[in-house]
Structure formats: C-alpha cells, structure tokens
Structure 1
Amino acid sequence: MNASPGLVTRLCTLALLAASGGLLASACADNESSLFVRQRMAMPTTGECTVSCSPTEAFWSADAIDSAYVGSHSALILVGNQIVQRGDSDVLRTETSRVQLYEAEVRLSYMDGSPVNEGYVVPIHGVVDPGSGSNAGYNCTDVLLIDGATMDRLRGEAADARRDIEVLASIVVRGRTLGGQEVEAPEWSYPVRVCFDCSPCVDTLPVDCCYGEPNEQCEDLEDVEEFCPGIRGPRDCRSLGQTCEEHLADVRPRR
C-alpha cells in the first residue's frame, strides 16, 4: 500500500521527535556535571584539624601517611553543586536543589592500574547548597580513603619494601536533592603514599611519662601535638601510651 506524501512527512516528524525526546531523557538521566569533587582540602600541620570549605582555600595534591601510627585514613574533600536554584519566596516555592550527601564508593589501585582492593561503599555527610549564577555551591565531606583491612595490607607491603607504596584512591560521591533527585559525581582520583616507620618517634625522659602515669617529672613536659590526617611528622610516645620501641613491635607485620 502506498502512503500519501503528507502522511510520510507526519510519520517522519513524529519519529524525529521521539528520537530527540529519547536523547533528551538520556542526557537528563546521566547529568554528571551537577555534582563534582573539586579538591582535597589542605590541613594545618597540628592542632585543630579544621578548614574553611571554599575553592579559594589551600588544597593538597597528595597525602603521605605512616602506617605504623594509623589504622585507617580519611580525607576532607570539597564537593560542588551546579544544580540551578529553584526556590522563590514570591510564590512560596521551597528550595529543592540542595544536595544531601549520603555515600561514597571508594576503590584503590596501584599506580600501574592493578587493583589494591575490590572497593567499598562508605557513608558520608553534608549538605551542598546550589550555586548562584555561574558559580557552584560548595561544602566539605570526610571520606574514608583507606579502610582498616586495606591499611593492614599496605602496611605489610611498605614494611617489606622499606619504601613508600603509592596508591590511587578513586572516589564516586553520591547525593540526593531535597526534591528527591539522585545525583552522582564523576569519579575523582587522589594519590596517597603509604610507608611504615618512616616518621621519627620520640620517647620522653623519663620514659614513665610515655605511659601517662602520674609523675612530677612529667608535669613540665609540653602538651602532645597530634598531626592532622594526611601529614607525616614526629610522634610523641605519650600519644601511643607506650614507648616507641614497644609500639613498633606491636604493629610490625609478622610474616
């Protein structure tokens, strides 16, 4: 049966509209530019490990940790939200474009691309406000980059190699808008260098102070300074609750 030219034109138009509609729906469902990881916030060396969550603040390009003194490792990352604002006080419309962060998927690989672990999902917290104009909104969230089991493995490798083990933590951050829309950031990768017993450790004089026992000779010692996550630095035996030698004997991997 032959179709009229007008019918053929209408059918082609409908087909094009359906195809373009499918493309638009796909683009909306896979919009990875809404949420993104901007940077790893730089931490102070010691003291209160707090920062201002802003893209203009200092950031780090890698972390370095001594596995002899940490059982896991977390990093404070800056997350951006580029969803358009929808709130309007004139018409009593509430803002639904704020993103509640709820989880991050983390996997570790060596620098040659081979996997360190199978990956894991960890809970995260924080609300990221929508941006204004062409500027994104930002907030920080703390992500567990290396869990305890993975740290145990890297500790053994670093102790055997007697050098840094370099790994790449690849992170996917997920959130949900107040309007109920699921959003996911593109994968973001960050390098971490792991060593074993590469930081100096200092015993007090007398060594009794290492155990935190009451002693008049310990009262004049300065307060213990703890280093913030991602930084290697001298260790004080008082933060370990035992002498440096005793601590290293306890945590050294046994083969």
Structure 2
Amino acid sequence: MTFRGTLDVAFATEYSVPLLVGNQLVRRGNAATLRTETSRVVFESVDVHTFDSSGNELGAFTAPATGFADPSTGVEPGYGIVHVVMVDSGTSALAVGGAMGGRASPVEVTASVIIRGRTLGGEEIATGEWQFPVDVCRGCLVYYAPEADDPLTVERDCSLTADAPAGLCRPGLDNPVDCRLCSKIEPICDDPSF
C-alpha cells in the first residue's frame, strides 16, 4: 500500500495508479428464480481536482474509466479496480513552474478523486471523495549509483554506464531511476549538480 506518490517530470508528465474500489450494494440476483443481478457496478468516469499545499485548486478534469465491481457477499464488499490519472500534465507543469530545464524540489499536490459509475440496474452511483498526496518534482527520483561514478574525476558523475541495470516499467513514478538508465538522454542523469 502506498500512502503518498512521487512524480518526477524529467521522465513522466502524469501520475496514474490503479485504485481498488469496494461495492457494498447487496446482491439482487437469484438463479433459482431467474432474477438478473442488478447490483454489479460498471465504472464510467473519474472526476479529479488537484490542489496545492495551501488548498488552491491547480486543475480539474473528468476522464473516462473502465472496470467493474461485483456486489457484496454478506458483510464483505465486492471489489474492482479502476485506473485513475491523479495528476495530469497541466497540473504537473504548474507544480514545478519554470524549472523544466533544471532540478525542481518536490511540491505537494493533493488529488481529490470521485469515481462515477452505473449499476446494471441503471442506477447512477458515485464514490465518496478520496484524497491522495503526490510530490511533483524534476530530478528528485534520480539515483546516482556509486559504481557509476568515475574515480578519475573530482566531481561526482554518472559516466560509467557499462553495468547499467535493466529498465524500469514506469520511470518517473514513485521508484528511483538509476542514472545509468538515462545517462546521455537526460542532463540531470549525467550531472548531479545540474
């Protein structure tokens, strides 16, 4: 479980995650009487509002959503997964401001999310509002491995890239990026002082 996200705009402009959504509607279907299940929920859209640490709104958008959640079984809710963009490219650009050429310290952005859907019975439903903090930065996830530093130079660098690790699935989202993976592509990866 993650309680906070990190978006490094040197590698990605949007922060997205899969969310686990619970459906507490009671089952209505009955195979014995040929009654159709109407409490299954199909996700249709997501409303997202983003705010800075002072509570000022940075952006708002609605995006399509796909997925479903089965009805509850007794006291246990049915669960489904929906993929949500929490911070869009416009918000991430606002958060880091004019630092697109150099480093930018992490700025907290809070995403407020409401997932909307419809039951198979045709009833429109929505989740409660859920908030998630995301630190938006430029270059903060770059990791300078000691074995990448050339011992023949005085300053720290990332010039020994021969033993670079395998690539990342989602560079710029939450996990450190080894400088050897982006060396010669992104100036921040070559020079820690950039």
- TM-score interval for Structure 1 and Structure 2 normalised by the shorter chain: 0.7 to 0.9
Cα deviation, residue 235, structure 1? 3.4
- Once the 2 structures are TM-superposed, how far is the Cα of residue 230 of structure 1 from its aligned partner? 4.0
Query: Are positions 1:197 and 2:139 aligned together?
Result: yes
Aligned match of 2:49: 107
Q: Which segments of 5 or more consecutive residues in structure 1 lack a partner in the other structure?
A: 1-58, 207-217
CA distance in 2 between counterparts of 1:136 and 1:157 reads 45
Tell me the equivalent position of 2:84.
143
The answer for the alignment partner of 1:89 in structure 2 is: 31
**Which is strand-richer, 1 or 2?**
2
Shift in alpha-carbon separation, 1:142–1:126, aligned structure 2, 3 A = same
2:168 alignment partner AA: E
Query: TM-score normalized by structure 2?
Result: 0.79
Equivalent residues of 1:71, 1:148 under 8 A apart: yes
In structure 2, what is the equivalent of residue 76 of structure 1?
18
Residue pair 1:158, 1:165 contacting (<8 A) in 2 also = no
Q: AA paired with 2:28?
A: R
The CA RMSD over aligned residues, in Å, is: 2.9
Q: Higher helix fraction: Structure 1 or Structure 2?
A: 1
Between structure 1 and structure 2, the one with the greater Rg is 1
- The corresponding residue for 2:62 is 121
Q: 1:233 aligns with which of 159, 164, 176?
A: 176
* 1:155–1:196 contact (8 Å) kept in structure 2: yes
Given residue 121 of structure 1, which amino acid in structure 2 is its aligned partner?
T
Structure 2 segments unaligned to the other structure (5+ residues): 145-157
2: distance between equivalents of 1:232 and 1:222?
A: 14
Q: What is the percentage of aligned positions where both structures have the same residue?
A: 31
Alpha-carbon deviations, 1:41-99, whole Å to 9, x = none? xxxxxxxxxxxxxxxxxx21111221211111101111110111001011001111100
CA distance in 2, matches of 1:91, 1:205: 70
Give the distance between the partners of 2:14 and 2:165, measured in 1 at CA. 27
Structure 1's 182 and 63: CA in aligned 2 closer, same or farther, altered over 3 A? same
Provide TM-score, normalisation by structure 1.
0.61
- Alpha-carbon distance, 1:232 to partner: 3.2
Give matches, 1:48-59, under 5 Å: 59=1
